[in-house]
Amino acid sequence: MPPLPEPPIVYVVDDDPALSRSLRFLLESVGWEVQLFASAAAFLPLAKVLTRPCCLLLDIRMPGMSGLELQQILQEQDCAVPILFMTGHADVSMAVQAMKSGACDFLEKPFNDQKVLDAVAAAVRLCAGMLEEAQRRATAQKVLTTLSAREGEVARLVALGRPNKLIASALEISEKTVHIHRQHVMEKTCLSSAAELARLMLRADPDAFDEPL
């Protein structure tokens, strides 16, 4: 039997231990794993490439490193964990600024339990989608690495809808050679059309066709 998927994990970063324990009780009641951190600095060593659906419940104002400072550091480290900021009434304007910088949402204290659960569920779904997209991209990139340099050049032009004659002219090779490379590309990628090849290349690199020919 395949292993059961790990439950989503929610990281709670807040210097108020009573509030953190309350959030853990609430979140664990619906099956999420919860880890508590009393400061942004304590969480930072855990920031890494995402491997399972998760989100970060982050107090916006804390002693030492603030939530906003942690958000900036995570962005610099390309850690795309979805962030939900926890704020007091006076910090709403800061939370709005945080959302402009990429945060998912903010929750104003005192919390409404259902709003917390809904916001965390949405953030976890967002993270799961990002992980799935990253996996699809990695798979597409792996397929394309099987192509030789010349096959890659031919593949790009095929994906752009160029006929063999124009590909041959652009690459200064014979049409017969183009035909052979084209066959190899389709065999290695297990695809049957230029449109499918284009989708594969865009999945591997959304900017695949931005550079001039």
The pLDDT tens digits of the residues spanning 145-157 come to: 999 999 999 999 9
Q: Determine, yes or no, domain membership for 59.
A: yes
Q: What is the mean pLDDT of the chain?
A: 90
With pLDDT > 70 as the criterion, what percentage of the chain qualifies?
95
Range of the domain at 130: 9-135
Total structural domains within the chain: 2
* pLDDT above 50: residue 132: yes
Which of residues 77, 100, 135 is at a domain's end? 135
Are residues 162 and 116 part of one domain? Answer: no
What's the pLDDT at 79? 86
Domain of 90: which CATH number?
3.40.50.2300
Are residues 118 and 169 part of one domain? Answer: no
**Neighbouring-strand partners of residue 54:** 9
For residue 52, the surrounding DSSP H or E stretch is none
Which of residues 135, 161, 176 is at a domain's end? 135
What's the pLDDT at 207? 87
CA separation, residue 82 to residues 97, 102, 130, 153, 213 (Å)? 15, 8, 10, 37, 37
Are residues 131 and 152 part of one domain? Answer: no
- Nearest alpha-carbon partner for 36 in 7, 15, 62, 60: 15
pTM above 0.85, yes or no: no
Task: Provide the Cα torsion 32, 36, 39, 40; round to 10°.
Answer: -30
What's the pLDDT at 103? 86
Q: Indicate the pairing of strand 54-59 with strand 105-108.
A: unpaired
Which of residues 91, 116, 135 is at a domain's end? 135
Q: Determine, yes or no, domain membership for 141.
A: no
Are residues 158 and 130 part of one domain? Answer: no
Are residues 93 and 28 part of one domain? Answer: yes
What's the pLDDT at 47? 78
Are residues 174 and 104 part of one domain? Answer: no
Are residues 159 and 115 part of one domain? Answer: no
Domain of 196: which CATH number?
1.10.10.10
- Count of Cβ atoms closer than 10 Å to residue 206 Cβ: 10
**Neighbouring-strand partners of residue 35:** 11
pLDDT per residue as tens digits for the range 90-127: 677 888 888 888 888 889 888 999 999 999 999 999 99
The whole-number average pLDDT for the span 25-52 is 89
